[in-house]
Amino acid sequence: MDASPARRTLRTAAVLGSCCLALVSGCSPFDDDAAVDASAARAAQAAAVPLAARDLQNQYQKVIREVLPSVVQIQASNDLGSGVVYDGAGHIVTNAHVVGNEKRFKVTTANTEEPLTATLVYSYPQQDLAVIRLDKIPEGLKAATFGDTEKVQVGQITLAMGSPLGLSSSVTEGIVSATGRTVSESPTGGGTGATIPNMVQTSAAINPGNSGGALVNLDGQVIGIPTLAASDPDLGGSAAPGIGFAIPGSMVKTVADQIIKQGKVTDSGRAALGIAGRTVVDVNYQPAGVAVVTVKHGDAADKAGIRPGDIITKVGSDDITTVTSLAESLASERPGEKTTVTYSRDGVSRTVDVTLGEQ
């Protein structure tokens, strides 16, 4: 098998370095010590590349041995997904779209041959997260360690672990391609339609069945929950290779801790206007804003004087053309922050100050 371009380049460099050493020694008086030194240098250069490769391979294998036992396969009716063991009490965190409307599940762990049963604790579709709990805790159940999302950097090596296409305990490799992405899921095909901020983008392959699994760094920490792959309209809506997204580990911990302690999410940390709306189109049938259908009494929009029938066209400096663009704009804000909302009423444009509420 041919060496990779990077390996070929390094080997070429090693050969050139050897030639330079030979030329230098040929221009100097022959000396036994110099010959020994040159020989040692050549040996060190030849060994450098394989040693580095072995070190990286050993680190991969170490992380896989540590984390893979914490990644489980979840079966809900006829669908398969993945999950991550959250604690020793049998709580497992996964995606809301993996559990769907189900209450009971079959879970296969690394230490069990037969599936175990589990029960839904709570599902939070707004963040596409859910927690289920094993009815019986198997011996040797191992909880994963979650990392600090703030420390995730572009270029870090990542491993995605899960059960793509039902192939349990599968691992793919890539890097962190970007951080801080705001991504909206499709409400069709099993998605929740959620708009999720601060997603980690990775080149590690994310395939159906990977959802709810673990995106892991080389320190063996879960830095995200793989949720979806980007779709390419030019490929008929199929997954775009090398573009996957994971819910950041810090958000996973925030949501899971609330569900486990309180049975629900009481503090989403996400901004909201307190309205229900729908996308409207202009005379050319192009999306042109969000029509307010209902306003929740006492919430942000109500206090700002926004009423049903108003059409929101801008939040802050963001143009609003669809419900999705409104959700993405609010995803970058925090509850309690102040912004402006521009809307039209009876053909007249108005702008008001709004103190955002919480979703």
Q: How many domains does the chain have?
A: 4
- Judge if 82 and 172 occupy the same domain: no
Does the pLDDT at position 215 exceed 90? yes
- Judge if 213 and 276 occupy the same domain: no
- Joined together, the tokens standing for residue 258 give 């609330």
Does the pLDDT at position 7 exceed 70? no
Does the pLDDT at position 333 exceed 90? no
Does the pLDDT at position 3 exceed 70? no
pLDDT band at 207 (very low <50, low <70, confident <90, very high): confident
Could you list the active site residues?
A: 97, 128, 211
Q: Backbone phi, then psi, for 161, in 5-degree steps? A: -120, 135
**Residue 215 belongs to some domain of the structure:** yes
Distances (CA, A) of 36 to 20, 28, 45, 48, 259: 15, 14, 14, 18, 66
Residue bearing tokens 């307190």? 274
CATH number, domain with residue 343: 2.30.42.10
Q: Backbone phi, then psi, for 10, in 5-degree steps? A: -65, -40
- Judge if 250 and 275 occupy the same domain: no
- Judge if 199 and 224 occupy the same domain: yes
- Judge if 130 and 159 occupy the same domain: no
pLDDT score recorded for residue 140: 86
Alpha-carbon distance of 68 to 205, in angstroms, equals 16
**Residue 263 belongs to some domain of the structure:** no
pLDDT score recorded for residue 117: 96
pLDDT score recorded for residue 39: 56
pLDDT band at 290 (very low <50, low <70, confident <90, very high): very high
Of 171, 208, 253, 230, the closest CA to residue 81 belongs to 208
pTM of the model as a whole:
0.75
- Judge if 167 and 215 occupy the same domain: yes
Residue 256 amino acid letter: A
Q: What is the biggest distance separating any 2 CA atoms in the chain, rounded to whole angstroms?
A: 96
* Residue where one domain finishes, among candidates 254, 285, 302: 254
Domain span including residue 298: 271-358
- Judge if 158 and 250 occupy the same domain: yes
How confident is the model over 291-327, as pLDDT tens digits?
Answer: 999 999 999 999 999 999 999 999 999 999 998 889 8
| Mean pLDDT calculated for residue range 109-115 | 83
Distances (CA, A) of 152 to 55, 117, 168, 199: 22, 34, 26, 11
**Residue 302 belongs to some domain of the structure:** yes
* Residue where one domain finishes, among candidates 134, 161, 180: 134
Q: Backbone phi, then psi, for 82, in 5-degree steps? A: -125, 170
Rounded (10°) angle between helices 5-26 and 32-67: 160
**Residue 65 belongs to some domain of the structure:** no
Residue bearing tokens 């991550």? 84
Does the pLDDT at position 166 exceed 70? yes
- Judge if 250 and 155 occupy the same domain: yes
**Residue 266 belongs to some domain of the structure:** no
pLDDT score recorded for residue 352: 95
pLDDT score recorded for residue 237: 58
- Judge if 159 and 113 occupy the same domain: no
Specify the higher pLDDT residue, 154 or 29: 154
Length of the chain counted residue by residue: 359
* Residue where one domain finishes, among candidates 225, 254, 283: 254
CATH number, domain with residue 229: 2.40.10.10
Alpha-carbon distance of 320 to 328, in angstroms, equals 9
**Residue 262 belongs to some domain of the structure:** no
Distances (CA, A) of 324 to 12, 27, 198, 240, 331: 52, 72, 16, 21, 10
pLDDT score recorded for residue 43: 53
**Residue 143 belongs to some domain of the structure:** no
pLDDT band at 72 (very low <50, low <70, confident <90, very high): very high
pLDDT score recorded for residue 234: 63
- Judge if 179 and 127 occupy the same domain: no
- Minimum mean pLDDT among 178-187, 275-284, 340-349: which range? 178-187
**Residue 165 belongs to some domain of the structure:** yes
- Judge if 159 and 245 occupy the same domain: yes
Strands (E), the chain: 71-76, 79-85, 91-94, 104-108, 116-124, 129-134, 157-162, 170-184, 195-202, 214-216, 222-232, 238-248, 271-272, 275-281, 287-295, 311-315, 318-319, 338-345, 348-355, 357-358
Instruction: Count CB neighbours of 180 within 10 A.
Output: 13
Residue 318 amino acid letter: D
